[in-house]
Structure 1
Amino acid sequence: MHLFISDLDGTLLDKNAELPAETTADLNELISEGMAFTVATARSPASVGIILKDLDLRLPLILMNGVLIFDPVKKDFDVINKLSDTAVAKVLKLRLELNLAPFMYRMQDNVMTTAYDNLINNTMHEFYEERVQRYGKNFCHTDRLENLADDVIYFCFIDCREKLQPMYDALKDDSDIKLAYYPDIYGEEWYLEVFSANASKEAGVRYLREKLGCTKITAFGDNLNDLPMFDAADEKIAVGNAAPQLKTAADKIIGANTENGVAKYLKEVFNG
């Protein structure tokens, strides 16, 4: 099996974080003809479920940078990677010392909730409002995140790079933790995402290779958090709007996300 895996934001989605009708139609046609296709994204199940509702996905999805692997046919999780209690305590202690406020994701009985104690900048407010109004996401406000610090799978910090850098530096060498650290393609802030060392887009790709018996994997990406996925792929393709580091790591560069670049390339390859 030759498996094609695409990132979402900045790669498959347009500038409004939507899947264009043309892309949906092209991909559904290719999937119906036998193309093996799935996605790998930093997004959670709630937003992915809405964004990709018209896409006929049949293979497991890599979500939240590999923390979750979700089977759209069984409608259940193949993999849930939780953070250790030690890692959670370390992150929560550091965020107080550094005056940062994360979104903290928890998974209990296969139901995910997102807790927060403070929205400290405009981007966090926008993130919250969009996910509640557009995707119906379940957020829980608490005075102390420590009160809800069980079954944690993920932390998402959104702030300026200068404020996030000390947190990144403090965690980057922790063998119990993986990090995704990259600029927001929709704004000026940066994301720092913290999750289990057992999880990554790379680990997710390797899981799918073994589960599906893939003989070749082609990955499409645009941002720094796609570099781990590139490491596990046989063929690495960057969209035209990708970060310079992705273009350097890529085997090929195709059309931008706003030009339906991924779907056009797949039509050429699969039908050619």
Structure 2
Amino acid sequence: MRWTVSRAGPIAATSPWRAASARAWQTSPRKSFEALSQHLAPCLTGHNAKGGFEPPFSIPVSIHSRPMTLYVSDLDGTLLDAQGRLADSTRLGLTRLLDEGLLFTVASARHVTSIRQILGDLPLRLPVIGSNGAYISDMASARHEIVHAIEPDLAQAVFALIRQHGLMPFVSTHGAQGDQLFYQSVHNEAQQSFVDERLRNSDPRLRHSPRMQDVLSDPAVTLVVVDREGPLAELQAAIDAMCGEQVETHLAEDLYKPGWPWLTVHDRRATKDQGIKTLAQRYGLEDKEVVVFGDHVNDIKMLRAAHRGIAVENAIPAVKREAHQVIGHHHEDSVLRFITEDWQARGRR
């Protein structure tokens, strides 16, 4: 598998889970997962978002017993239709495959709250990767297993730089009050649409703040600036020059409001490829072939890292250049068709 593990990563090679897993497989490599679970019972704990320990999500035996391929799809512009919805045919097809044992999850720029609203009752057995890799979360409960926040001093510096450019960000935080999404004021129609959509969907995170500096007392997970491409490109260059590799920035067109792109700023660990790597580590999936689907700039790293990176026809040219294969348009159920054919051709491995 091409995912490489950094010593500074969210799960150290010496963690109780990994050490016990290695011992168990060395002494009894042919044991069933049920027997292995008993062997590992004292170590079946995971770091929660607050740094403590708690049981990890329950993973059915079938995940480990048969499938040899893990499929991970982006949402907007890839798995979803032109209206940002999961088509009924896609939902039915994925549900059938998941019931047969398909290993599948999503990696999206959306927060888990939004992912859950869109995917609804889709029976995912693996956590979802949200906010471009800043969160790994259980979709059913919206509980986070992993949170990658920006270093506090760095978040303050980025915020100050955004203000120096005459722009105002939306700021997502994760603290004692849970996940919150703050805004101070709106200055263009796209920012208003950003707020209106979250009000319309009753996003519980949305908060108005008269002083955005105050909200940065909690760890900032994402800063989002919505404006025209010119000012955002200048701001992105300034942030990259100031922060180097300490943060990850993406400048991408809003698929639903052309002409008003978003600039997002995350911690350097918050990328989809690192999210998939962490997921594979955490759930013993490191031996699986990884197939990913994407369409935009925030998908490029995971396409590069995957065994097979698949671009949809509507993907930007940079994504198509990185892809092993280009399939049909996102609104043609192309991802589902590819997975179905691949799953059947490989004997449901």
Normalising by structure 2, report the TM-score.
Answer: 0.75
Q: Which residue of 1 aligns with 2:35?
A: none
Give CA-to-partner distance per residue, 1:51-88, whole Å, 9 cap, x none.
Answer: 01121111011100000001236752110011111211
Q: Does 1:176 align with 2:260?
A: no
Once the two structures are TM-superposed, the CA of residue 137 in structure 1 deviates from its matched residue by: 3.8
Which of 195, 198, 209 is matched with 1:128 structurally? 195
Q: Does 1:164 align with 2:235?
A: no
User: Is the contact between residue 70 and residue 76 of structure 1 (CA under 8 Å) also seen in structure 2?
Assistant: yes
Counterpart secondary structure, 1:9: helix
RMSD: 1.5
Instruction: Extract unaligned runs of 5+ from structure 2.
Output: 1-67
Q: Which residue of 2 aligns with 1:154?
A: 222
Which of 193, 197, 200 is matched with 2:271 structurally? 200
Q: Which residue of 2 aligns with 1:233?
A: 306
* Distance in 2 of aligned mates of 1:142 and 1:78: 28
Give CA-to-partner distance per residue, 1:141-174, whole Å, 9 cap, x none.
Answer: 1122101112211101111110111211112242
* Distance in 1 of aligned mates of 2:142 and 2:211: 33
* Distance in 1 of aligned mates of 2:281 and 2:211: 41
* Distance in 1 of aligned mates of 2:331 and 2:267: 33
User: Is the contact between residue 117 and residue 143 of structure 1 (CA under 8 Å) also seen in structure 2?
Assistant: yes
Once the two structures are TM-superposed, the CA of residue 211 in structure 1 deviates from its matched residue by: 2.2
Q: Which residue of 2 aligns with 1:66?
A: 133
Counterpart secondary structure, 1:86: helix
* Distance in 1 of aligned mates of 2:250 and 2:182: 20
Greater strand percent: which structure? Answer: 1
* Distance in 2 of aligned mates of 1:137 and 1:179: 25
User: Is the contact between residue 179 and residue 192 of structure 1 (CA under 8 Å) also seen in structure 2?
Assistant: yes
Once the two structures are TM-superposed, the CA of residue 191 in structure 1 deviates from its matched residue by: 1.3
* Distance in 1 of aligned mates of 2:164 and 2:249: 19
Q: Which has the larger radius of gyration?
A: 2
Counterpart secondary structure, 1:83: coil
Superposed, 1:55-94 pairs within 5 Å as: 55-72=122-139, 75-94=142-161
* Distance in 2 of aligned mates of 1:162 and 1:123: 15
Counterpart secondary structure, 1:11: helix
| Runs of 4+, deviation exceeding 3 Å | 72-75
Counterpart secondary structure, 2:265: strand
User: Is the contact between residue 154 and residue 194 of structure 1 (CA under 8 Å) also seen in structure 2?
Assistant: yes
* Distance in 1 of aligned mates of 2:204 and 2:166: 26
Query: Equivalent pairs: percent with the same residue?
Result: 30
Once the two structures are TM-superposed, the CA of residue 28 in structure 1 deviates from its matched residue by: 0.6
Q: Which residue of 2 aligns with 1:245?
A: 318
* Distance in 2 of aligned mates of 1:266 and 1:216: 13
User: Is the contact between residue 205 and residue 232 of structure 1 (CA under 8 Å) also seen in structure 2?
Assistant: no
Kindly tell me the number of residue pairs found equivalent between the two proteins.
Answer: 272
Normalising by structure 1, report the TM-score.
Answer: 0.95
* Distance in 1 of aligned mates of 2:310 and 2:137: 24
Once the two structures are TM-superposed, the CA of residue 110 in structure 1 deviates from its matched residue by: 7.1
Superposed, 1:11-26 pairs within 5 Å as: 11-26=78-93
